[in-house]
Every structure is written in structure tokens, then in C-alpha cells.
């Protein structure tokens, strides 16, 4: 690692938030940042940190990990590349993706067999994209630094399997960045199943040591400013003296940077100068008070277990390996790709598909497949007004176009048929759009299972799901939900609260608090109970209900209005 040699081209003026400046000056081995929306965590903090690590450890090998390849390819990598471009790196000159690097690039410290899902830099670095839903794709290699964005989605157990891969390339070991980590995220919401391991960074941070590193970094920065000013004035003897002083301070800096962790929680106000007042006003209006607290102000959200409607729902009901390893092999980092059912590991393309549907400002469709032993929720779809059944049908048809058995059994709110009174029958409407989209037969057959069905009382749903999720009865199926294909459903189930009230007979009953369905339209998928209702219609079946409560028919009542 070079610690000396002033070059005018390596000196730049840049605007940065206070947090970004602190990271740039202290250059710790480990960085764990929790920051609100609009703080440029990926395009600025993460991208610039990657560039710094590349400069300090040329020819080294790094990993960028994400929860899924979908998120990595659609969100993380494009933002990192945008950050590279903002800071002067040019594709084809300073970096390339998915292909062998050109001859003018330095060579990586060891031979590279495959360049799929990699970024190569002109400094000889190889940056490999990895997904924790396929942790084996990255765990077998050696890396000198690991980066991760949206850390709240990274499962700690799977991430721990990757950490032993931090090894190799002794030539880079003189850098304090060697075997380091960099993770950024907004505030984890544990009530939605987010991972909050990053918050442990507070205990890992030695504040005295960090302040020392920051102070030394400030001195180094001041020396570099003097060197630039002296160089611009042609005072080259002064530049040489300052360069010797710079070497001494950088040696001190390197000693204190090793084993140093910087952890910080920051709200979006850290970037208020750039975002402006309107950003915060509009965010509060669009997100609502509760979400704004977490995603803008970085407050920790919380919901007590006893308040949850789905009281026995836990992490055991979710799986994270629902994607076929081969699906993304042919996809390039910069390629726009179309998601399809071919990615689903547990989908039987030769068997019918089942769906639960809820109508309203948000129309939700929850897809499942399985049997009386194991039932999997495999995919979710939704539309928001003014979109409706036609647009939802299009999403379903496009995603499941490779399905060989094109039969969909559909359960739904019985009001879906009652809209016939206003000459709008949503249930038959979605059936018609799926079977004959824009007048063209699709090959699908939709079987409507909820005609003349009794209303499902909320207290009945509460008791049924409590027994189903609690594994009270061996004859009820084990419930598994694809957490990565159904993130909104997962959130809807985890955030649903109880409401204790009296029925017509004066008896105390537990109902589902539906107030979240009055949230702004954009918040409905993630934060309302809408998706949980589609889930209810899919699972609340006569045979399973009979097993759970010993009776063969539903209790009935009129639909409630919220």
C-alpha cells in the first residue's frame, strides 16, 4: 500500500454529509451505518468506500452481498455503478462488468475463472456479487473486504457463513481495510422481521480510538490541502517537506485504523441541505407518521407480541431459499430482466396454482401450492387504484407464463361477487381477464371457489390461524411462506394488530385492527392488513377449519364495513 507521493490528480474537492466526511477522514476497518432515506447510502457512502478500498488494496478481491439476486441486480448494483460514475470512474476505462477486463487493467492476485456477476477495476480488483439466498455462490472464494447494502434484509446466520471467506492475499494485509466490512441500511423494523444485528455495532465501537483516528485523519487532510496549495503556487520544495510529514501521519493513522469499527445512526436530516424542507414535508405526507419515524428519523419501531393478530407467526414460518440457483446465471449485472415463475424452486409447474384475493383500493393476490402436509405461499401480486383487475391479471399471466398446468383455484372476499349489484363483479372480472386477456385466450382456467360462501368472522380467523401457525394439530398442514417473494405479505402479517371489542351478544371477541387500511395509498401494500386478508381467503378452508375446531361449517354474519 502506497503511503506517499502527492499527485494533483488524486486531490479533489467534494461535498459530503457530515457522516460521509467522518468516514472519509477516519477510514476505519469496519463501517456499520444506519441512516434515513435520502442520505445517499449506496450511491455515495458505499460506492465511495468501495473505491477507497480499491485504491488502498489494488489487485484484491471483494464481495458485495445482498439478500437476493433480484434486489442486487435491480437496486444495489445500479446504485453503486451510478456512484462510480458520479465520482469520475468511466465504464470500460476504470471498470467493467460481467466480462474479462481489458489488457490495460492490472491483474487480480489470482486467476479468475468466471466473470459472471463481477465488477473488475483498472486497479486489478475483482468485486463479486453474491446473494445470501444462495450463500454457496460466494462462500467458497476468498475476499479481503465484504460490502453489503440494505443490511436489515441480510440474515445474520447466512452472513456468518460468508465471514470465514475473509482471507487470502497477504500482500494487501498492510492495509487497515484488509479483512474489513462495510454495511449500510435504514433502520431495521423487527416487527416486520427485519434483521437488527447491525445495531450491535454500537458495542463494537471504541469511541476513544475512533476519535483518535478521526483527529489523525483531519491532520492528514490539512496536510494534503497545504500540499495542493503549495503545488498550485509552484512551491515544490514545500511539497516535498509536506510529503514526508504526510508519510509519518499516515503511518500513525494506519495503526489506529486497524480493528476499528465506526457505527452510527443518522436521520435523513443529515442531508437536509441537499434534500430541502419540501422533502421532509412530502415524506411525512406520503409515508405517514409511523413509517416516517423509522425511515426518515431512524427511530426504532416496536410492536408487542401480545398485540399481534397472528400471535403464533414466527420466523420458522418463512423460508429464504425459494429461488433456483440457475435462474440468475444467465443474467448480466447491467441487464434488465423479467422475473418469472422459473425462478421459484418449490413451484410445481405441472400442478394447479391456488390464490387468495382481496378487493379494494389495493387488490391483493396471494399465491399458494401444496397439500395437507405442507402448504407454501409462493408469490404475491397487488395493484393500487386506479389500477385494478386487468392490471393484476397481466402481472399474474406474465409471471406464470411458463406454467404447464394452467388452472387457478381462486378464493376471495365474497363481496367480490356481490359487486354485481353495481354491475361490477370483481371475481368474474379477474377470471375473464386471466382467461381472455384483451380478447386473446391465454390457456388459463380460473375456478371461482367463493360463490355463496359465508363470511369469515375475524375472531374465527384469529383462532384458526393461531392453531395453524402454532402446529396444534398434526393433520393441519405445515405453513411456509417465501419471505423474499412475499415481502409485503410478510409485513402485513407481522404488523397486523388485535382489537378487543364486544359482539352483538355482549361477548368479548378479538378482531383484526383494520385502521391501517386508511393509510395513504402507497403505504397499503407494506403496512396495511390488505395482504393478510388475501392470505385469509386462501387458507380458511372447510376441511382445515373442521380439523381446527371440530365443526363442518362456518359461522356466518354480514360483511363488516371499515
Q: Where are the domains of the chain?
A: 11-206+260-271, 314-486+530-549
- Residue 66's SS3 state is strand
pLDDT of residue 113: 86
Q: Quick: pLDDT tens for 208-221.
A: 999 999 999 999 99
pLDDT above 60 for 420: no
Please choose, from the candidates 43, 53, 32, 66, the residue with its C-alpha nearest in 3D space to the C-alpha of residue 266. 32
CA distance 281 to 49: 31
40 CB-contact burial (10 Å; exposed 0-12 / middle 13-18 / buried 19+): buried
Of 76-90, 286-300, 515-529, which gets the smallest average pLDDT?
286-300
Residue 257: all three cell numbers together: 485504523
| CATH of range 314-486+530-549; options 1.10.1760, 3.40.30, 3.30.450, 3.30.420 | 3.30.420
b or e along 395-411 (b: 16 or more beta carbons within 10 Å of the residue's beta carbon)?
ebbebbeebeebebbbb
pLDDT above 80 for 337: no
Across the strands, what pairs with 148?
65, 183
Neighbours of 452 (CB within 10 A): 6
Residue 436: all three cell numbers together: 381472455
387 CB-contact burial (10 Å; exposed 0-12 / middle 13-18 / buried 19+): middle
Which H or E element spans position 249? Answer: helix 236-257
Residue 162: all three cell numbers together: 460468508
pLDDT of residue 233: 92
CA distance 480 to 437: 31
Radius of gyration of the chain (CA): 27
Across the strands, what pairs with 370?
375
Residue 343, C-beta contacts closer than 8 angstroms, at least 6 positions apart = 70, 323, 324, 327, 328
Neighbours of 501 (CB within 10 A): 12
Q: Quick: pLDDT tens for 439-478.
A: 999 999 999 998 767 788 899 999 999 999 999 899 999 9
pLDDT of residue 455: 83
- In what side-by-side order are the strands of the sheet with 353-358? 318-319, 478-482, 374-384, 362-370, 353-358, 407-412, 445-448
| CATH of range 11-206+260-271; options 3.40.50.880, 3.30.70.100, 3.40.50.300, 3.30.1360.170 | 3.40.50.300
pLDDT band at 556 (very low <50, low <70, confident <90, very high): very low
Residue 560: all three cell numbers together: 363488516
pLDDT band at 560 (very low <50, low <70, confident <90, very high): very low
pLDDT of residue 3: 38
CA distance 61 to 125: 6
| Pairing of β 498-502 and β 145-148 | unpaired
- Residue 40's SS3 state is coil
Percentage of the residues of the chain whose pLDDT score is greater than 70? 89
Cα atoms in the Cβ-side hemisphere of radius 13 Å centred on 530: 27
Please choose, from the candidates 85, 114, 80, 84, the residue with its C-alpha nearest in 3D space to the C-alpha of residue 100. 114
DSSP 175: S
Residue 305: all three cell numbers together: 407480541
If you search the block for the grid coordinates 378452508, which residue do you land on?
541
CA distance 513 to 302: 16
* Residues 143 and 59 sit within 8 Å (Cβ to Cβ): no
Amino acid at each position: 500500500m502506497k503511503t506517499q507521493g502527492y499527485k494533483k490528480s488524486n486531490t479533489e474537492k467534494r461535498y459530503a454529509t457530515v457522516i460521509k466526511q467522518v468516514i472519509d477522514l477516519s477510514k476505519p476497518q469496519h463501517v456499520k451505518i444506519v441512516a434515513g432515506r435520502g442520505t445517499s447510502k449506496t450511491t455515495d457512502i458505499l460506492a465511495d468506500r468501495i473505491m477507497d478500498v480499491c485504491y488502498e488494496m489494488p489487485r484484491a478481491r471483494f464481495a458485495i452481498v445482498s439478500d437476493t439476486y433480484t434486489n442486487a441486480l435491480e437496486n444495489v448494483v445500479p446504485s453503486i455503478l451510478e456512484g462510480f460514475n458520479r465520482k469520475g470512474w468511466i465504464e470500460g476505462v476504470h471498470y467493467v462488468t460481467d466480462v474479462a477486463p481489458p489488457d490495460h487493467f492490472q491483474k487480480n492476485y489470482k486467476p479468475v475463472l468466471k466473470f459472471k456477476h463481477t465488477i473488475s477495476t483498472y486497479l486489478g480488483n475483482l468485486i463479486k456479487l453474491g446473494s445470501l439466498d444462495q450463500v454457496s455462490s460466494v462462500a467458497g472464494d476468498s475476499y479481503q473486504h465484504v460490502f453489503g447494502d440494505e443490511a436489515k434484509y441480510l440474515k445474520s446466520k447466512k452472513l456468518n457463513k460468508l465471514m470465514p471467506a475473509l482471507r487470502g492475499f497477504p500482500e494487501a494485509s498492510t492495509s487497515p481495510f484488509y479483512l474489513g466490512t462495510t454495511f449500510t441500511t435504514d433502520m431495521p423494523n423487527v416487527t416486520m422481521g427485519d434483521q437488527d444485528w447491525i445495531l450491535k455495532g454500537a458495542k463494537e465501537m471504541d469511541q476513544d480510538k475512533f476519535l483518535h483516528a478521526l483527529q489523525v485523519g483531519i491532520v492528514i487532510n490539512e496536510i494534503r490541502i497545504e500540499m495542493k496549495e503549495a503545488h498550485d503556487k509552484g512551491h515544490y520544495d514545500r511539497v516535498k517537506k509536506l510529503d514526508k510529514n504526510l508519510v509519518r501521519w499516515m503511518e500513525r493513522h494506519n495503526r489506529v485504523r486497524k480493528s476499528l469499527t465506526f457505527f452510527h445512526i443518522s436521520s435523513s436530516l443529515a442531508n437536509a441541505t441537499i434534500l430541502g424542507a419540501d422533502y421532509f414535508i412530502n415524506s411525512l405526507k406520503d409515508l405517514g407518521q409511523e413509517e416516517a419515524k423509522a425511515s426518515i428519523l431512524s427511530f426504532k419501531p416496536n410492536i408487542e407480541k401480545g398485540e399481534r393478530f397472528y400471535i403464533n407467526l414466527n420466523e420458522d414460518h418463512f423460508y429464504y431459499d425459494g429461488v433456483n440457483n440457475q435462474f440468475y446465471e444467465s443474467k448480466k449485472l447491467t441487464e434488465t430482466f423479467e422475473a418469472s415463475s422459473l425462478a421459484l424452486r418449490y413451484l410445481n409447474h405441472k400442478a394447479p396454482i391456488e390464490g387468495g384475493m382481496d378487493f379494494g383500493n389495493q387488490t391483493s393476490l396471494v399465491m399458494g401450492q401444496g397439500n395437507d402436509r405442507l402448504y407454501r405461499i409462493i408469490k404475491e401480486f397487488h395493484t393500487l387504484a386506479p389500477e385494478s383487475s386487468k392490471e393484476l391479471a397481466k402481472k399474474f399471466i406474465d409471471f406464470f407464463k411458463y406454467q404447464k398446468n394452467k388452472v387457478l383455484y381462486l378464493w376471495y372476499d365474497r363481496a367480490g361477487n356481490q359487486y354485481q349489484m353495481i354491475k361490477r363483479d370483481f371475481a368474474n372480472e379477474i377470471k375473464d381477464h386471466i382467461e381472455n386477456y384483451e380478447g386473446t385466450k391465454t390457456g388459463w382456467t380460473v375456478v371461482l371457489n367463493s360463490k355463496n360462501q359465508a363470511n369469515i368472522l375475524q375472531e374465527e380467523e384469529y383462532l384458526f390461524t393461531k392453531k395453524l401457525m402454532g402446529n396444534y394439530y398434526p393433520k393441519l398442514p405445515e405453513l411456509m411462506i417465501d419471505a423474499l417473494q412475499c415481502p409485503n405479505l410478510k409485513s402485513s402479517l407481522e404488523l397486523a394488530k388485535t382489537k378487543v371489542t364486544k359482539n352483538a351478544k355482549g361477548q368479548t371477541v378479538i378482531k383484526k385492527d383494520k385502521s391501517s387500511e386508511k393509510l395513504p395509498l402507497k403505504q397499503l401494500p407494506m403496512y396495511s392488513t390488505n395482504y393478510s386478508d388475501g392470505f385469509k381467503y386462501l387458507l380458511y378452508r372447510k376441511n382445515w377449519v373442521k380439523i381446527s375446531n371440530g365443526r363442518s361449517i362456518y359461522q356466518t354474519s354480514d360483511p363488516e364495513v371499515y
